[in-house]
Amino acid sequence: MKYTFSFLAVIALVLFAWLGSQIPGMQYLFGVAIPYLAIMIFLGGFVYRVVQWAKSPVPFSIPTTCGQGVSLDFIKQDKLDCPTKTSEVVARMFLEIFAFRSLFRNTKSELHEGPKITYESSKWLWLFALIFHYSFLIVVIRHMRLFLNPVPGWLQTLDFLDAGAALQLGAPLLYATDAALVLGIVLLFGRRLINRQVRYISLANDYFPLFLIFGIATTGILMRYFLRTNIDIISIKELLVGLVTFSPVITAKIGSIFFIHLFLVSTLLIYFPFSKLMHLGGVFMSPTRNMANDSRAKRHINPWNDPTIKPHSYAGYEDEFREFMVENGIPVEKELPPQKDE
């Protein structure tokens, strides 16, 4: 039911855009008003969430560590898993953001009869995630050619390499990222169905973005490879360039499939800041990743501390309550001074 509800929600969005685009005068709503609204909500929501995270105090030093920390000189430190310098934290964050390093090192554990626990490699999940995210990134960058006039040379080169134009014959050329994006979505969705542990914890809001992105990819593929006669690419580019320059123009030559595609993209932009997809911005604000493991070298000050309350060390605590601790049999580091005879 969880994934059925999400699937039906995306189908409803497709039908809404298709029926709405058939009504005279409604093309402006789906082609101009909703995209502008979606962009404003996306940018405003994204900035708001990041600012709120940045303002949140971090009361404890809680970097995730799983390697050897700084110790004696002859013991080698694991600088990526136990960073103590800013440069080491930056290197760790770079590999986390661009190579999904923690996911690459992930293992799958299973409990068997005995009881016996086993650990297995889970590199396939890292590979699926890498294929999906980088394909999505390249597709988004490649679409910039529709918003720019003239198209920059580096963007034309990226388009040429993605299409493998030197190795393909005929038209339209097949983009590798189109196939890789759909493959990545299918594999990530299949994992949520096949893996019973993941299926148990998956919610409707885990399936909805997968179906939504799949709908965006499917409508885009239909426009490029199967319904080219139903759309006018020149009119579409005129509209998209007009959106960027705040002078949009809609002609009757734009087909309904384009309005469906654009409406799904707008829905994704609106949904993005309020969903788990915000890990795009949240990864930079995670204290488990962006903090150095130097709590023994530097004192971490809790920003929630009342400035009028001075820190109370254990030595000071013992000096204040040593007599009561001794009376109750609590061990102390410093013995009571001998009492003078009266």
Question: What is the pLDDT, as a whole number, of residue 115?
Answer: 81
Question: What is the pLDDT, as a whole number, of residue 208?
Answer: 94
Percent of the chain whose predicted confidence (pLDDT) is above 90: 42
Amino acid in the structure at residue 324: F
33 vs 28: CA distance, rounded Å: 7
Same domain, 220 and 325: no
- Count of domains for the chain: 2
Q: Taking 70 as the threshold, does the pLDDT of residue 334 lie above it?
A: yes
pLDDT band at 187 (very low <50, low <70, confident <90, very high): very high
Same domain, 250 and 200: yes
Same domain, 162 and 248: yes
Question: What is the pLDDT, as a whole number, of residue 166?
Answer: 54
Same domain, 196 and 342: no
What range does the domain containing 337 cover? 312-342
What's the number of CA atoms in the CB half-sphere (13 Å) around residue 242? 15
**Rounded mean pLDDT, 173-184:** 90
Same domain, 139 and 242: yes
Q: Taking 70 as the threshold, does the pLDDT of residue 191 lie above it?
A: yes
Same domain, 212 and 338: no
Question: What is the pLDDT, as a whole number, of residue 112?
Answer: 79
**Rounded mean pLDDT, 183-211:** 90
Same domain, 95 and 133: yes
Please enumerate, as own/partner, the contacts of 291-294 that have beta carbons within 8 Å and a separation of 24 or more: 291/58, 291/61, 291/62, 291/63, 291/89, 292/63, 292/83, 292/84, 292/85, 292/86, 292/88, 292/89, 293/61, 293/63, 293/65, 293/69, 293/82, 293/83, 293/84, 294/61, 294/70, 294/84
Those residues whose C-beta lies under 8 Å from the C-beta of residue 272, and which sit 6 or more positions away, are: 42, 45, 46, 278
Same domain, 305 and 328: no
Q: Taking 80 as the threshold, does the pLDDT of residue 338 lie above it?
A: no
Question: What is the pLDDT, as a whole number, of residue 91?
Answer: 94
Amino acid in the structure at residue 220: G
Question: What is the pLDDT, as a whole number, of residue 170?
Answer: 61
Q: Taking 80 as the threshold, does the pLDDT of residue 337 lie above it?
A: no
259 vs 33: CA distance, rounded Å: 12
Same domain, 73 and 186: yes
Report helix, strand or coil for 108. strand
Same domain, 326 and 229: no
pLDDT band at 167 (very low <50, low <70, confident <90, very high): low
Same domain, 152 and 258: yes
Question: What is the pLDDT, as a whole number, of residue 105?
Answer: 82
- Whether residue 115 is preceded by a cis peptide bond, meaning omega within 30 degrees of 0, is yes
Tens-digit pLDDT profile for residues 264-314: 999 999 999 999 999 999 999 989 989 999 888 888 888 777 777 777 788
Report helix, strand or coil for 104. helix
Question: What is the pLDDT, as a whole number, of residue 306?
Answer: 77
Question: What is the pLDDT, as a whole number, of residue 143?
Answer: 92
Question: What is the pLDDT, as a whole number, of residue 8?
Answer: 94
61 vs 215: CA distance, rounded Å: 42
Same domain, 113 and 242: yes
Question: What is the pLDDT, as a whole number, of residue 274?
Answer: 93
Which is nearest to 219 in space by CA: 267, 253, 187? 267
Question: Residue ranges of the alpha helices (H) in the chain?
Answer: 2-22, 27-28, 34-55, 86-99, 101-104, 123-142, 153-163, 176-194, 196-201, 204-221, 233-244, 256-271, 279-282, 287-290, 314-327
Question: What is the pLDDT, as a whole number, of residue 180?
Answer: 92
261 vs 7: CA distance, rounded Å: 16
- Whether residue 150 is preceded by a cis peptide bond, meaning omega within 30 degrees of 0, is yes
Question: What is the pLDDT, as a whole number, of residue 23?
Answer: 87
**Rounded mean pLDDT, 311-328:** 86
What's the number of CA atoms in the CB half-sphere (13 Å) around residue 312? 8
Question: What is the pLDDT, as a whole number, of residue 272?
Answer: 96
CATH number at residue 155: 1.20.950.20
Question: Residue ranges of the alpha helices (H) in 195-313?
Answer: 196-201, 204-221, 233-244, 256-271, 279-282, 287-290
Specify the range with the lowest mean pLDDT, choosing from 53-57, 91-95, 166-170. 166-170
